[in-house]
């Protein structure tokens, strides 16, 4: 009797367990990003006398990515963001069969984090949710920036975020330190763009708070999916030429490099 079917079954079981571990890592990483970053904005940004302000919120988002990159990045690649997943796929750094599961679990993790954050924040007497750290343009933009300005900002900032991720995890880059520039890069992005869009560069991060903030924010979600994904794809395609130009990367079987 041939042993090949047995080995094939074992291989499929191993792949299934690997995908489950990856999805759990992406869930936890995205949960922490949304809970930590949006939590800083909702709970701490304007707390009386001790508010952390825009700077504190920017660092909160950067620290969530930095910490989870080292905690679970070696399991899943540490995407925590549908735009990052698609950008890395375009760069040949993410297997085809990981793309949809990653995006689904990232959105689920973000919604779970927003649900917990809502429950905690609403425990304060007289709490008013307001925009609940959601993203917006026009009247919903913190600085009332136009839709065109917000679209360009989100596209450009996501482009550079992916360029930082791809560059710091490419062959020849210093190993073991990528989480630091990636986390600081996200901090810088927030320092630039909180007044513009409240900073997305992450469709999952945008979707979850919008569901709680209400209809007007949901109606504007299209921008916070299209612009970040477009910027990420451009960076991914450019990365194929800019980094490791002689390497042939199979996007079906490639093992994602961890951002940490």
- pLDDT at residue 109 greater than cutoff 90: yes
- pLDDT at residue 45 greater than cutoff 90: no
Question: Cβ-count burial of 94 within 10 angstroms (0-12 exposed, 13-18 middle, 19+ buried)?
Answer: buried
Give the pLDDT of residue 248.
Answer: 37
Give the pLDDT of residue 255.
Answer: 44
- pLDDT at residue 252 greater than cutoff 90: no
Q: What is the dihedral of CA 46, 186, 33, 91, to 10 degrees?
A: 160
Give the pLDDT of residue 229.
Answer: 98
Mean residue pLDDT of the chain comes to: 90
Q: How far is CA 216 from CA 138, 145, 204, 228, 242, in A?
A: 11, 16, 17, 20, 40
- Cα–Cα dist 99/251, whole Å: 11
Give the pLDDT of residue 175.
Answer: 83
> Do 62 and 187 form a contact (C-beta atoms < 8 A)?
yes
**CATH says 4-242 is which class?**
mainly alpha
Give the pLDDT of residue 46.
Answer: 75
End-to-end CA distance of the chain: 45
- pLDDT at residue 256 greater than cutoff 60: no
Q: Domain-by-domain residue ranges, the chain? A: 4-242
For residue 208, the 8-state DSSP code is H
Would you report the helix, strand and coil content of the chain in percent, each value rounded to 5?
70, 0, 30
**What mean pLDDT do residues 113-123 have?**
96
Token pair in block for residue 174: 């210093």
- Cα–Cα dist 110/128, whole Å: 21
- pLDDT at residue 253 greater than cutoff 60: no
């Amino acid at each position: 009797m041939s042993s090949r079917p047995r080995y094939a079954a074992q291989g499929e079981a191993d792949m299934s367990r690997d995908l489950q571990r990856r999805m759990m890592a992406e869930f936890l990483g995205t949960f922490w990003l949304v809970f930590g970053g949006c939590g800083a904005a909702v709970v701490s940004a304007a707390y009386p006398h001790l508010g952390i302000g825009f700077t504190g919120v920017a660092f909160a988002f950067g620290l969530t990515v930095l910490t989870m990159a080292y905690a679970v990045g070696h399991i899943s690649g540490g995407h925590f963001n549908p735009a990052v997943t698609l950008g890395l796929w375009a760069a040949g750094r993410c297997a085809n069969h990981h793309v949809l599961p990653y995006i689904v679990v990232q959105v689920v993790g973000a919604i779970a984090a927003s649900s917990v954050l809502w429950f905690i924040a609403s425990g304060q007497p007289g709490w008013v949710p307001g925009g609940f750290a959601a993203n917006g343009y026009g009247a919903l933009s913190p600085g009332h920036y136009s839709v065109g300005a917000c679209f360009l900002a989100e596209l450009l900032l996501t482009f550079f975020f992916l360029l930082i991720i791809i560059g710091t995890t490419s062959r020849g880059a210093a190993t073991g330190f990528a989480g630091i520039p990636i986390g600081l890069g996200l901090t810088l992005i927030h320092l630039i763009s909180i007044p513009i869009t409240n900073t997305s560069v992450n469709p999952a991060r945008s979707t979850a708070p919008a569901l709680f903030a209400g209809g007007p924010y949901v109606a504007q979600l299209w921008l916070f999916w299209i612009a970040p994904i477009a910027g990420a794809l451009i960076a991914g395609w450019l990365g194929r030429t800019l980094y490791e130009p002689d390497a042939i990367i199979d996007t079906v079987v490639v093992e994602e490099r961890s951002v940490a």
